[in-house]
Structure formats: C-alpha cells, structure tokens
Amino acid sequence: MKKKSILLTMLPMMILASCGSKHTVPETPVSIPTGNVDLKTAYSYLSEAHNYQIMVDTTVPRGATFMTSFTDKYVWCDKKKDEWGLGLYKDGVANISYDDNGDLVAGEILKDQENRIQKQLWGSGLFASFADISDEFGDNEKEHVFTNKLNKLSILKLMGLSSSMLLDIKSATTTIVDELTTLDITLEFDYGKYILTVEAVGDTKSVCDSFITSSAPYILDDDLAETRLAFFEDNYNRDVLDYEDEKLSYGIEHFMPQYFYGEYNSYGAQHLAASAGYLAIKNKVYKDQKLNGTYLFTLTESREVNLFTAGYYNDATNIHGVGFGYMSDLILWNKLELSTYDSKAGCYSFTNQKIVDDFVVVNQLVDSLNQAGYSAYKVELYLDDPKTKEDAVFFKLYYGPDQLGYYAAYKFMDFGRANMSMVDRFIEDNKLYD
C-alpha cells in the first residue's frame, strides 16, 4: 500500500534495575500485632510481612487511585492502564501483566545485573515495600513526621511516584490509631496530597491468586532470543529507507556502543541529511582538554576523524542518552510475551499501546506524528527482510488517522560488523574508550 509520508526527524536476558532495596528475608512469618499498636511496632512488623495490601489515594487532579497486593507468591499493582506484577514460579521470578485481550500473562524468568536467575521474590529489590523504610520512630509514638531523606524516597516509590518529586514534598507524616489497618502515610505537596493506607493484613487476595497457580513463565523462541541479543550488543547498521518508497535509501546509520555515525548518500543530501557522527566520552583528556559528554565529529575526504570539542553536543556520556534511536532501548524486548506470531506474514506483531508508543519515542517520531494528526497502533518485527529474505531484521511501525495500513519501515543489518575502522582507531589512539 502507498504510504503517507511523515517527516524524517532522525537523520543527522531480561535484566532489571532494582526499584527497592535488598533486605534479609525472615525465615518464618511474623505474628500480626493486635490491640493498641504504635508506629514502631507497626513498621517493624510490616518490614517483614509478606501478606498485606496498600491503597494509594490522592487529591491531586488526574491522580490515580490504586491498590498493591503483597504475598509470598506475588506482588500485584492494579493501577488502571498501568497494571504490573511479579510472580514467584518454580524456576524463578517473572513479570505479570495484561495482554491486549485483558488476560493475565507471565513474562520470562528475570535475571539480575550479574545475569543470574532471580530466584527470590522478597529481598530481591525488584519492588518497593515497607522493608525499605528504616526505623526512625520513638516508643509509643502514634504520629510522626518523617525526617529521613531515604525514607521519603522509599515512600515515593511505595506510592508509585517519581523520586524527582522529593524536593516538592512539603510534609511527610504517618499516623496510626490502634490496629494495623488504621496506619496511614500522607505526602503533602503544593498541588495536593497522596495518602497511603494499609489493608487486608494477613488476608490479601487479588486476581493473581488463581493465575499464579495455573500459569507458567514465557519461553522465548531461540531465534527471537538471538535477535534481542544482537541488538543488545549495539553493533549494527540501519539502512535508512524512504517511508514512501522502500527501494530508495537515504544512506546507512552505524550504531556502536560508544558512537553513532550517519553516512548519508546523495539522495539523503537532497533531503537535508548531512553525514556526521557523535562520540560519547567520559572524563577523558584530548589535546589538553578534558572532555565529558557527547561530541560531534565528521570524516575528512581522506576518512580521518575531525572531532569538534569547542562544546559538547549533549552532556550525556552514554550514547543511548542522546536520542539516536538505539533499538536496544525498546521496552518491546522486555515484553515479548505480549507479541503474537503471524505465521502467514512471518512476523511478530505488537499492538500493546505502551510498546507502540515507546517505539515512537525511541525513534524520534512523536512530533512528526502529532503534526500530521496521526497516531501509531502496531509494530511488526521480521527476523529477515520480508521481501528479499536476506539476513536482516525488519520493523514496521503502522500509523495513520485510522488503521489504514500506512507504515514506516526500519531495516537493520550487519550485526557484529558495523564498526568503522577509522573511528575505532581514533578512539584507541587517543585513549577515549570507555
């Protein structure tokens, strides 16, 4: 189908980061305190408990109300349109989420930063809980104003809020009347409040109760696993195809761990694409000048590197932080269980809106689509070129005012051999490597 043109805006394992702290898991469940409980006792219990719910409410306009359930076998947050969960299976911990049909699905078994299988749910640091709040309470205290900065950060995470909001907190207080279920935490801001309350202590139930016993983690196909790994190594080329005519190419873009280079041809030049590169440098000295950031470079006619150091292009010292469209940044790779395989077309299809929107963001197409009045609704992944069957990976991003079949094509190739020898030599000779 003939594709409507959108402006080219970008032409010049499952490893999880911790969101909570790691802590020692108690060997046996602790007894639920009853009666007239003070804050010290309540927080001490909840720091070791594995069976309770928290409700987060807010007076902030457009703020969300949601509940998170904590048990020995799973953690589940029911925040509307942003549900997430973690489940403990025989072989390890896996993500839990809803698919496009509204059914729960389990993801792959997770691995830690050392690529080891995540065997523990509690004590793993994969989620925030009361275990992250340290004791700053007095004996018999019923009301308390938090002063510990780390505790405030932990409360923000427990409430599903950004740590960037820390400096905006006017007050952080907690109170308890008697039973544990009368405990609350209030964060007050100029624009409203967030209130956390504790519920269902020792009697937590959610949609995950039956799911966790009847489901299994997602098993990744070997070819899909190899493709993901190839992108994660950040050594490949992109053939920048014309969105209107895939027979035409603007040139080649080189994606490497420390640098990006757009090598555009005469057709690309007609569309104002100028060949240039960007090199990420972390605290290195070059020609008596300390460099820290991402710097523009060009190639001379003799293919020598000309590095511009009068000022950095971007203060990021990681090339991924600059916005060149590194496909390893896609959340798609962490949500492969949400794909469906189209055997007729020979592709993996993603219609989950978060995955689609993330693809748009990574590839710098937000403004272009907005200006055209279009929205994206599907991503397809082919493990070879769907037309020539050559050794290439092919993405299609479908968009339009309606689901009419307009798409932007992305072709990637030369995995593991996208190096530019003159750039590699320049980095090595000047000791600018990471």
Question: Is the confidence at residue 51, as pLDDT, over 70?
Answer: yes
- Domain for residue 344, yes or no? yes
pLDDT digits over 275-317, tens only? 999 999 999 999 999 999 999 999 999 999 999 999 889 999 9
Q: Find the length of the chain.
A: 434
Whether residue 180 is found in the same domain as residue 199:
yes
Whether 389 maps to a domain, the answer reads yes
In a domain, 433, yes or no: no
Do 184 and 137 sit in the same domain of this protein?
Answer: yes
Residue 350 lies in a domain: yes
- Is the domain of 233 the same as that of 303? yes
CATH classification at residue 120: 2.50.20
What is the amino acid identity at position 120? Q
pLDDT at 424: 97
Task: Answer yes or no: do 55 and 189 share one domain.
Answer: yes
- How far CA 423 is from CA of 232, 285, 354, 373, in Å, comes to 21, 17, 36, 40
Instruction: Report the percent of the chain where pLDDT is more than 90.
Output: 82
Give percent of the chain above pLDDT 70.
92
Pairing of strands 305-307, 236-241: unpaired
Which of the four pLDDT bands, split at 50, 70 and 90, describes residue 353?
Answer: very high
One domain for residues 259 and 408: yes
Instruction: Tell whether 202 and 240 lie within a shared domain.
Output: no
Same domain? For 230 and 85 the reply is no
**Mean of pLDDT over the chain:** 91
370 belongs to a structural domain: yes
d(CA 333, CA 383): 14
Average pLDDT over residues 397-401: 94
Rounded to whole angstroms, the Cα distance separating 43 from 65 reads 23
Residues 195 and 268 in one domain: no
Residue 391: what pLDDT?
Answer: 78
pLDDT of 386 > 90? The answer is: no
How large is the average pLDDT for residues 11-26? 47
Same domain, 200 and 253: no
Cβ 427 vs Cβ 262: under 8 Å: no
Residues 187, 152 share a domain: yes
In a domain, 429, yes or no: no
Say if residue 241 is in the same domain as residue 366.
yes
Q: Do 157 and 238 have their domain in common?
A: no
Domain boundary among 214, 236, 256: 214
Domain that holds residue 209: 39-214
Residues 6+ apart with CB under 8 A from 415: 230, 233, 235, 236, 393
DSSP code of residue 47: T
Please check the confidence at residue 28 and state whether its pLDDT lies above 50: no
Cβ pair 256, 419 in contact under 8 A: yes
Measured CA to CA, the distance from residue 174 to residue 145 in angstroms comes to 7
Which residue among 165, 183, 214 closes a domain? 214
* Single residue among 175, 196, 214 that ends a domain in this structure: 214
When comparing pLDDT for 60 and 62, which is higher? 60
Q: For the chain, what is the domain count?
A: 2
Confidence (pLDDT) at 198: 97
Cα 402 to its chain centre, rounded Å, is 28
What sign results for the dihedral spanned by CA atoms 123, 127, 129, 131? positive
Residue 194 lies inside a defined structural domain of this protein: yes
Lowest mean pLDDT among 87-96, 309-318, 383-392: 383-392
Question: Within a domain: residue 241?
Answer: yes
